[in-house]
């Protein structure tokens, strides 16, 4: 630990923000760093801290070649501060300040709101590392183990990204928030993480893949909106984070895709034609398709809650003040002020799920959630193509947005995945048909056998089409015993 305390941060922390000349921020990061490393050792991947992992490290922000791959022990990963390059003449692109030069400093009147946005985003980053810390031990292959650790170190870097903003632009309260980000713990009764989905357990690899597909995609939507921010340092930070986020969603989409592929293959080989024959499918050592659908239902509905209430004055304020835009705001062809417009919102009206026009400004959460659902639907289509190609008749689908919600319009009702409203009794009876039951969970966990021989894969998942960094199939992505 001691040499980690004495490193020359201005060299050891890869950064393109001139940290070595920014003494005050450098000092703040220096005093935060040991606590971060303690957090990483306590709450990061369990059991593999001394293994050599074939990881990519960001070395520049040039989209063509920002990463270099090499074996690294995770605690030695070079977590850095990297912002997308400054765009000359960038303006505030929406809201009341439309057309003004983008802010290089925090506008005083928006200080509290902006800090809140950054802290909420920041809190999700370490949370997912905590949720996923046990998974290394049951990795279905070294390839998958490496991808898990890659996602984990990058979520760690995203925390650094938010902490840099807090420490550079928010003085003492920024430093206090940075400390708090290391204190909260996912799922902890006393000091939980800030958002619901980040306090759920990630008990198995299918959950991990669903999480990176659905919940990291919420991350993408939030980052896309914050990348539009009139506060330029936040925008630049998020733009670079999005390049990393793309890999996380690849891990999720391909992970679920390979699970489906393997199931369909095993069913075909064994002549199991009926996807609802769960017992026969499970006997093949793969996850049956109805259970995959239930996992999908769970992760999609949990993630929808992250978008907050459909109608929200907070999100209107974030937009009006130029802090948080819409998904790809600068590509949208309207007035970017939304003062007169409306947007259709799905609401509960007299006990019925009804589409109602709401002022566009207060419906921004709904709009971002719709953009998110469309993005998810495309991925689900690609999964269905795998089934189609395998000659399997089963199709996955996104459940209705009223299904299994804890926030917003539908939090007080029960609905089935088609959006039919159910009584409490009907729900209790049918729930296990829609969401993973304890038995489903036990079955999936029973499949989670660690496979650590290079090039080998656990029974329930197909190998990937290509290796990471073009490595061959039997490449040793993690050297587990390497002290
Ligand atoms: Fe992240
Ligand atoms: Fe992510």
Distance in Å, CA 58 to ligand 1 centroid: 14
DSSP three-state, residue 128? helix
Least confident of 17-31, 111-125, 294-308, 322-336: 17-31
Long-range contacts of the stretch 25-33 (C-beta < 8 A, 24+): 25/164, 25/167, 25/168, 28/167, 28/168, 28/175, 28/178, 29/81, 29/163, 29/164, 29/167, 32/163, 32/167, 32/175, 32/178, 32/179, 32/182, 33/4, 33/9
Band of residue 68 on the pLDDT scale cut at 50, 70, 90: confident
Distance in Å, CA 18 to ligand 1 centroid: 23
Residue 16 has pLDDT above 90, yes or no: no
Question: Smallest Cα–Cα separation from 255: which of 213, 286, 192?
Answer: 213
DSSP conformational letter for 353? E
Count of CA atoms in the C-beta half-sphere (13 A) of 355: 3
Q: Which ligand is nearest to the CA of 216?
A: 2
Predicted confidence at residue 57, as pLDDT, reads 86
Question: Smallest Cα–Cα separation from 459: which of 474, 448, 471?
Answer: 448
As a three-state string, the secondary structure of 51-109 is: CEEEEEEECCCCCCCCEEEEEEEHHHCCCCECCCCCCCCCECCCHHHCCCECECCCCHH
Distance in Å, CA 226 to ligand 2 centroid: 15
Contact 325, 318 (CB under 8 A): no
Q: Which ligand is nearest to the CA of 241?
A: 1
Distance in Å, CA 356 to ligand 1 centroid: 34
Residues contacting 417, CB < 8 A, separation 6+: 297, 397, 399, 400, 403, 434
Please name the residue that has the structure tokens 């183990």.
145
Predicted confidence at residue 483, as pLDDT, reads 54
Distance in Å, CA 351 to ligand 2 centroid: 37
Mean pLDDT along residues 39-52: 97
Numbers of helices and strands, H then E, in the chain: 15, 7
Contact 308, 294 (CB under 8 A): no
Distances (CA, A) of 51 to 194, 206, 313: 31, 24, 48
Question: What's phi and psi for 261, nearest 5 deg?
Answer: -60, -45
DSSP-assigned letters across all residues of 3-27: HHHTS-HHHHS-BSS-GGG-HHHHH
Residues contacting 411, CB < 8 A, separation 6+: 405
Band of residue 58 on the pLDDT scale cut at 50, 70, 90: confident
Contact 9, 18 (CB under 8 A): no
Determine the distance from the C-alpha atom of residue 229 to the mean position of all C-alpha atoms in its chain, rounded to a whole number: 20
Question: Smallest Cα–Cα separation from 481: which of 42, 146, 82, 48?
Answer: 48
Distance in Å, CA 225 to ligand 1 centroid: 14
Q: Measured between alpha carbons, how far is 103 from 97 in angstroms, rounded to an integer?
A: 10
Average pLDDT, the chain: 94
Distance in Å, CA 222 to ligand 2 centroid: 11
Residue 49 has pLDDT above 80, yes or no: yes
Residue 7 has pLDDT above 50, yes or no: no
Distances (CA, A) of 368 to 144, 167, 372: 31, 29, 6
Distances (CA, A) of 408 to 117, 211, 347, 448, 463: 19, 21, 9, 35, 40
Q: Kindly report the CA angle at 412 between 326 and 122, in degrees rounded to 5?
A: 40
Mean pLDDT along residues 437-446: 98
Predicted confidence at residue 4, as pLDDT, reads 23
pLDDT tens across 279-328, in order?
Answer: 999 999 999 999 999 999 999 999 999 999 999 999 999 999 999 999 99
Residue 379 has pLDDT above 60, yes or no: yes
The rounded radius of gyration (Å) of the Cα atoms in the chain is 23
Of the chain, the percentage scoring pLDDT greater than 90 comes to 88
Question: What's phi and psi for 371, nearest 5 deg?
Answer: -60, -40
What are the structure tokens assigned to 203, written together? Answer: 């008990």
Question: Smallest Cα–Cα separation from 45: which of 130, 113, 107?
Answer: 130
Q: Measured between alpha carbons, how far is 268 from 154 in angstroms, rounded to an integer?
A: 38
Distance in Å, CA 128 to ligand 2 centroid: 8
Residue 250 has pLDDT above 90, yes or no: yes
Predicted confidence at residue 15, as pLDDT, reads 87
Distance in Å, CA 121 to ligand 2 centroid: 11
Q: Measured between alpha carbons, how far is 410 from 401 in angstroms, rounded to an integer?
A: 8
Distance in Å, CA 125 to ligand 1 centroid: 5
Predicted confidence at residue 454, as pLDDT, reads 97
DSSP three-state, residue 203? coil
């Amino acid at each position: 630990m001691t040499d980690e305390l004495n490193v020359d941060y201005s060299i050891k922390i890869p950064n393109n923000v001139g940290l070595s000349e920014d003494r005050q921020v450098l000092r703040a990061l220096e005093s935060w760093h040991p606590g971060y490393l303690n957090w990483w050792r306590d709450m990061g991947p369990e059991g593999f801290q001394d293994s050599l992992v074939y990881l990519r490290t960001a070395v520049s922000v040039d989209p063509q070649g920002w990463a270099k791959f090499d074996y690294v022990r995770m605690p030695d990963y070079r977590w850095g501060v990297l912002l997308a390059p400054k765009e000359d003449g960038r303006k505030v692109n929406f809201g009341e300040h439309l057309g003004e030069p983008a802010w290089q400093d925090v506008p005083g009147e928006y200080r509290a709101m902006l800090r809140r946005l950054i802290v909420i985003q920041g809190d999700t980053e370490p949370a997912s590392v905590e949720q996923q810390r046990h998974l290394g031990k049951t990795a279905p292959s070294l390839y998958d183990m490496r991808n898990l650790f890659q996602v984990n170190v990058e979520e760690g870097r995203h925390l650094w990204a938010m902490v840099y903003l807090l420490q550079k632009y928010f003085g003492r309260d920024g430093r206090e928030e940075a400390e708090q980000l290391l204190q909260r713990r996912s799922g902890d009764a006393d000091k939980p993480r800030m958002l619901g989905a980040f306090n759920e357990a990630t008990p198995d690899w299918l959950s991990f893949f669903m999480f990176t597909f659905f919940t990291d995609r919420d991350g993408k939507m939030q980052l896309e909106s914050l990348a539009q921010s009139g506060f330029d340092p936040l925008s630049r930070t998020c733009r670079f984070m999005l390049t990393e986020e793309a890999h996380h969603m690849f891990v999720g989409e391909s992970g679920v895709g390979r699970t489906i592929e393997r199931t369909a293959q095993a069913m075909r080989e064994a002549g199991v034609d009926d996807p609802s024959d769960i017992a026969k499918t499970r006997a093949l050592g793969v996850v049956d398709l109805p259970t995959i659908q239930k996992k999908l239902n769970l992760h999609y509905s949990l993630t929808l809650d992250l978008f907050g209430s459909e109608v929200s004055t907070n999100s209107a304020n974030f937009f009006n003040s130029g802090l948080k835009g819409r998904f790809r705001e600068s590509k949208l062809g309207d007035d970017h002020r939304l003062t007169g417009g409306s947007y259709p919102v799905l609401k509960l009206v007299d006990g019925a799920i009804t589409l109602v026009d709401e002022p566009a400004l207060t419906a921004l959460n709904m709009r971002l959630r719709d953009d998110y659902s469309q993005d998810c639907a495309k991925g689900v289509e690609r999964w269905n193509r795998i089934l189609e190609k395998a000659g399997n008749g089963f199709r996955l689908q996104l459940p209705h947005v009223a299904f299994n919600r804890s926030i917003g319009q539908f939090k007080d009702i029960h609905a089935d995945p088609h959006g039919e409203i159910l009584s409490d009794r009907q729900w209790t009876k049918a729930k296990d048909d829609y969401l993973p039951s304890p038995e489903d969970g036990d079955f999936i966990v029973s499949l989670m056998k660690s496979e650590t021989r290079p090039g080998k894969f656990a029974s329930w998942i197909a190998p990937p089409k290509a290796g990471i960094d073009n490595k061959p199939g039997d490449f040793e992505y993690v050297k587990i015993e390497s002290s």
